[in-house]
Amino acid sequence: MDPLLLSRIQFGANISFHILFPAVTIALGWVLLFFKLRYNRTGDVGWMRAYFTWVKVFALSFALGVVSGVTMSFQFGTNWPGYMEKVGNIAGPLLAYEVLTAFFLEAVFLGIMLFGFRRVSNRVHTLATFLVAFGTTMSAFWILALNSWMQTPAGFEMRDGVAHATDWAKVIFNPSFPWRLVHMLIASGLTVSFLVAGFSALRHLAGDRSDSMWKAMRTGVFTAAILIPVQVLVGDQHGLNTLEHQPQKVAAMEANWETRGSVPLILFAWPDEEARENRFEIAIPNAGSLVLTHSLDGVVPGLNDFVGNHPPVLPLFWGFRIMVGTGLLMLAVSWTAAVFVRRRRLPRPLALLMVPMAVSGWVATLAGWYTTEIGRQPWLVTGILRTDEAMGPVAGSHVALTLAGYLALYAILLVAYLAVLVHLALKAAKDGDTSPLPALADRPMAQPAQDMEAAR
Amino acid sequence: MTLDWPTLLPLIFAALMGLSILVYVVLDGFDLGIGILFAAADDHEKDVMIASIGPFWDANETWLVLAVGVLLVSFPLAHGIILTALYLPVFVLLAGLILRGVAFDFRAKVPVARKQRWNRAFFAGSLLASLAQGYMLGIYVLGLDTGLAAMAFALLVALCLAAAYAAMGAAWLIYKAEGELQKKAVVWLRGALVLTAAGLAAVSIATPLASPRIFDKWFAWPEIVLLSPLPVASALLFLWLWRQTFVLPREGDRHAILPFLTLALIFSLGFAGLAYSFYPYVVPERLTIWQAAAAPESLAVVLVGACFVLPVIVGYSFYAYRVFGGKAGDLRYD
């Protein structure tokens, strides 16, 4: 068995599983802060009910994100030792700063956020919620800085075959970083808005018309409706940035073989890399040039300029289309839903559509990441380190064994996660606005907590 | 040794890595131990046990990420060698950590009928992770040897480390629990102490025997005298703790945290011994910390950040432990 291919599948499986949960927690932290601030301002317990419902989802997603993230930090060493040997001087500090400035912050204040409502003052609890949200976003900042550096390296020099940083500002704010960061943060926002909206739609279908359900539903739907056009604009800019710095990736995304002007926009095709042409092509004339260069006859680079040094075409072409297609669907659903929920109404067919759309953010995020990560191949770090050079000495059979183990584990956990979401939604629907909020009732407005007094 | 940055930085980072491993072993040790003790607890006790670690485990595990992070950041060469040599145990460790980490949350959120399933996952994950860590320690102590004898030795260490974690868990429960559960924890502590002592003795004897270099470091004049406080103090602490298990819990629950602190001290002494044995190697007998170190300018960048951030982390960790101080009650999301 080929250890390289197996290692790549294993890393891909791990990071795909991992990204599902940060995609939820990054934005959900801010949504929780929003609920909390609304409660602080209005004193309306509906906001606090929404908070307590969603803080559970946050806790579960956070735990899954942490454990799969720990796995990642080990896999650099177990499967890709060449990576740290060659670019460890750059990757190391970025990862270290993630752990130091973000990971600890989230992990420590999560405890207070989840279980500390009765033990600390309301102000400290709000602060803890803010710090957790801030921490998850800082995490995204450092990780995307590193990922973007691997795509478009800058601010370094090679000495004795090892990368050394010469300018840390350039390393962090490398050419593709700002757009990638914004693109990912908004993707997380969309993932969460659709998750919240879909979860609330399930409650609606189960007969729940409670105030807290509508509060969450409206938050989700309106956020989605606002974010999606922004994401289209940001995605366009990110694409132009990629065209400038990684033209071969864009050429593969568009399955454009020859460098030429007036490129059509291909809607459907089956790119054939052997024959270096597209089969069954359906395209809109000149639209490709318009999208990529913002002019009808603009020149777009072709794959034949990069023979032997461009990523596989088929997964990029389709990954990109799945992402964009999902995005368009999200646009249609969120705008339609916004019209209805504005007046606290939701037709049943729309609710039925919104439930599966709860995971649309995941689909789009994964498709996007597959496009950009496969699009970096055959390089692990563009121009510096090829993926096959970073491989460790572990036998293929060992990798196959662990890969099977991870896949089984992840499949079980994903099913369990979704089952718990459904269970929580139905439970919330049953409780509605009658769910007890003991914490609010017996809260003596500040510390010390009752448990601490009992201990004395 | 000249005292310039390229010499000092790897030393500082080796110390930082050692410190994170030690903090990890002590902190995650008690919550892994609670997971192992799950096997012997009834349903209500399990809820209290979870409540005693619920707000902490996440941050505790972050010290492992920091330790691996420092290894990866400061000694990239060693990171690759050690982790590829320990490929399968690392997988077992990770699978165990994944299982227990999520079981924590799932058991509180699934329908009651399925709670039992996640209780078992929590136990199995905690046990697997502890065994894997012990196994890795055993293989590392013998210089990353993976022969049959080394594997047998590593299995022994694995068993003893799991017992040591169970002892930590029991000691933590003596501090956090009341009534019947607290009394049970005292008995658990007594049982686990035997294996813990055996494990510490096994590693202490095997380490010098496996390497003539380490043997010479310990059994030479005057080192042997200067180092003797390490094993002597450990033995005395063990004896004292053993006797305590017959009188705990005390009137008014005085000094309930002492067993935990004592164990933490024993762990620290053992760890100091290991650190002394292996210094200056990060990969036993193969790579010193200077040979494996990353570029000084990269280490300097991290050091500046660590100097500012680590005290803050320690500060807010203390704060979190204080907020959730006292006996464990019901853990509720409000």
| Preferred mutation among A18, A84, A167, A171 to probe B, highest tally of B CBs within 10 A | A84
Least confidently predicted of A176-190, A326-340, B58-72: B58-72
Chain segment A352-398, per-residue pLDDT in tens: 999 999 999 999 999 999 999 998 988 899 888 888 888 888 888 88
Instruction: Tell me what the mean pLDDT of segment A18-36 comes to.
Output: 93
b/e map B283-301, b = 16+ CB within 10 Å: bbeebbbbebbbbbbbbeb
Q: What is the pLDDT of residue B96?
A: 92
Q: What is the pLDDT of residue A436?
A: 63
CB B139 within 8 A of CB B146: yes
What proportion of chain A, given as a percentage, has pLDDT over 70? 95
Interface contact flag, A451 B329, Cβ < 8 Å? yes
A262: left (phi over 0), alpha (psi -120 to 50) or beta: left
Which pLDDT belongs to residue A453? 34
Both tokens of A64, joined, read 């899954």
Q: Extract the tokens encoding B298.
A: 């990269």
Of B71, B331, B334, the CB nearest to A439: B334
Enter the tokens of residue A37: 């601030």
Position A454 confidence tier, pLDDT thresholds 50, 70, 90: very low
In whole angstroms, give the CA distance from residue B289 to residue A5: 33
- φ, ψ dihedrals at A392, nearest 5°: -90, 180
Mean pLDDT of chain A: 86
pLDDT bracket for residue A69 (50, 70, 90): confident
**Between the CA of residue B57 and those of A18, A79, B203, B321, B327, what are the distances in Å?**
19, 27, 27, 11, 17
Judge whether B186 and B248 are in contact, CB under 8 Å.
yes
DSSP A305-320: GGTTSS--HHHHHHHH
Q: Helix, strand, or coil here: A428?
A: helix
pLDDT at A446: 32
Query: Cβ neighbours of residue A248 under 8 Å, at least 6 residues apart?
Result: A301, A303, A305, A306, A309, A310, A311
Listed residue (A243, A253, A309, A303) closest to A276, CA to CA: A303
B16 CA to chain A: closest CA distance, Å?
Answer: 12
Which residues of chain A make contact with B98, given a CB cutoff of 8 A?
67-68, 70-71, 409, 413
Distances (CA, A) of B157 to A154, B30, B147, B200, B210: 46, 18, 15, 8, 15
In this complex, the residue of A82, A93, A413 whose CB is nearest that of residue B301 is: A93
What number of C-beta contacts closer than 8 Å exist between A and B? 238
Give the residue among A121, A189, A221, A137 at the shortest CA–CA distance from A445. Answer: A121
B42 vs B64: CA distance, rounded Å: 30
Question: Is the model's pLDDT at A456 over the cut of 70?
Answer: no
Q: How far is CA B35 from CA A81, A333, B173, in A?
A: 32, 45, 12
Which token pair is B79?
Answer: 């990171």
Nearest CA in chain B to A162: B295
CA distance A136 to A4: 32
Using a CB–CB cutoff of 8 Å, tell me whether A15 touches chain B.
no
Contact criterion met (CB < 8 Å) for B102 and A60:
yes
pLDDT at residue number A440: 55
User: Which candidate, B180, B98, B96, B90, places its Cα nearest to that of B136?
Assistant: B90
Is residue A61 classed as helix, strand or coil in its secondary structure? helix
Q: Does A323 touch chain B (CB under 8 A)?
A: no
Contact residues on chain A for B93, CB-CB shorter than 8 A: 74
Q: Is the pLDDT of residue A449 over 70?
A: no
Does the pLDDT value for residue A38 go beyond 80? yes
Interface test with A, best of B91, B110, B303, B312 (most A CBs within 10 A): B91
* Contacts of the segment B238-241: beta carbons below 8 A, 24+ positions apart: B238/B193, B238/B196, B238/B197, B238/B266, B241/B189, B241/B193, B241/B266
Nearest in space to A142 (alpha carbons), one of A91, A104, A87, A210? A91
Chain A residues 107-126 with CB within 8 Å of chain B: 107-112, 114-120
CA-based angle B318:B322:B328, to the nearest 5? 130
How far apart, in whole angstroms, are the C-alpha atoms of residue B219 and residue B202? 17
Provide, as residue numbers in chain B, all residues whose Cβ is less than 8 Å from the Cβ of A70: 61, 64-65, 94, 97-98
Compute the residue count for chain A: 456
Alpha carbon of A355: minimum distance to chain B alpha carbons (Å): 20
Q: Min CA distance, B323 vs chain A (Å)?
A: 7
DSSP A379: E
Residues of A in contact with B54 (CB under 8 A): 111, 114-115
List the beta bridge partners of residue A158: A163
Contacts of residue B301 in chain A, CB cutoff 8 Å? Answer: 93, 165, 168
Say how far apart CA A290 and CA B324 lie, in whole Å. Answer: 59
- Check CB contact of B50 with chain A, cutoff 8 Å: no
Rg over alpha carbons for chain A, rounded to the nearest Å, is 24
Q: Nearest residue of B to residue A165 by CA position?
A: B298
Q: How confident is the model at residue A439 (pLDDT cuts 50, 70, 90)?
A: low
Which chain B residues in 66-105 lie under 8 Å from chain A, judged by CB atoms?
66, 68-74, 76-77, 79-84, 86-88, 90-91, 93-95, 97-99, 101-102, 104-105
Confidence bin at A181 (pLDDT 50/70/90): very high
What residues 137-176 of chain A have any CB closer than 8 A to a CB of chain B?
Answer: 162, 164-165, 168
By C-alpha distance, the chain A residue nearest B69 is: A96
* A88 lies within 8 A of chain B by CB: yes
Q: What is the mean pLDDT of residues A6-19?
A: 91
Contacting B residues, span 270-329, partner chain A, CB-CB under 8 Å: 294-295, 297-298, 301-302, 305-306, 309-310, 313, 316-317, 320, 323-329
State which amino acid sits at residue A373: E
Q: B179-188: which pairs have CB atoms within 8 A and are 24 or more residues apart?
A: B180/B45, B181/B41, B181/B45, B181/B48, B181/B49, B182/B249, B182/B256, B183/B249, B184/B40, B184/B41, B184/B45, B185/B37, B186/B245, B186/B248, B186/B249, B187/B245, B188/B37, B188/B40
Q: What residues of chain A, 396 to 455, have a C-beta less than 8 Å from chain B?
A: 398, 401-402, 405-406, 409, 413, 416, 419-420, 423-424, 437-440, 450-452, 454-455
**Cα–Cα distance, B158 to B138 (Å, whole number):** 7
Q: What is the pLDDT of residue B130?
A: 94
Alpha helices in chain B (DSSP H): 5-37, 43-53, 57-74, 76-85, 87-109, 115-141, 148-176, 179-210, 212-218, 223-227, 229-244, 258-278, 289-292, 296-323
Per-residue pLDDT of chain B (334 residues; tens, 9 = 90+): 677 888 888 888 888 888 888 998 998 899 999 999 988 888 888 888 888 887 888 778 888 888 888 888 888 888 888 888 888 898 999 999 889 888 888 888 888 888 888 999 999 999 999 999 999 988 888 888 878 888 888 898 898 899 999 999 999 988 888 888 888 888 898 888 988 888 888 888 888 888 888 888 888 888 888 888 888 898 899 899 888 888 877 777 777 888 899 999 998 998 888 888 888 888 888 888 888 888 888 888 888 888 888 888 888 788 888 888 777 765 555 4
DSSP, res A300: B
In the block, residue with structure tokens 């590392």: B140
Residue A448 has pLDDT above 70, yes or no: no
**pTM summary value:** 0.86
Contact predicate B281/A72, CB 8 Å: no
Cα separation, B223 vs B205, whole angstroms: 17
Q: Is there a contact between B101 and B9 (Cβ–Cβ < 8 Å)? A: no
B82 to A88: CB separation less than 8 angstroms, yes or no: no
**Separation in Å, CA of A415 to nearest CA in chain B:** 12
Rounded Cα–Cα distance for residues A100 and A262 (Å): 49
How far apart are the CA of B176 and the nearest CA of chain A, in angstroms?
10
| Shortest Cα–Cα distance, A280 to chain B (Å) | 44
Which residues are CB-neighbours of A206 under 8 A, at least 6 positions away? A425, A426, A429, A430
Residue A444 confidence class, pLDDT cut points 50, 70, 90: very low
Question: What pLDDT does residue B332 have?
Answer: 58
Whether residue A455 has pLDDT greater than 50: no
Longest dimension (CA), chain B: 65
* Cβ neighbours of A69 in B, within 8 Å: 65
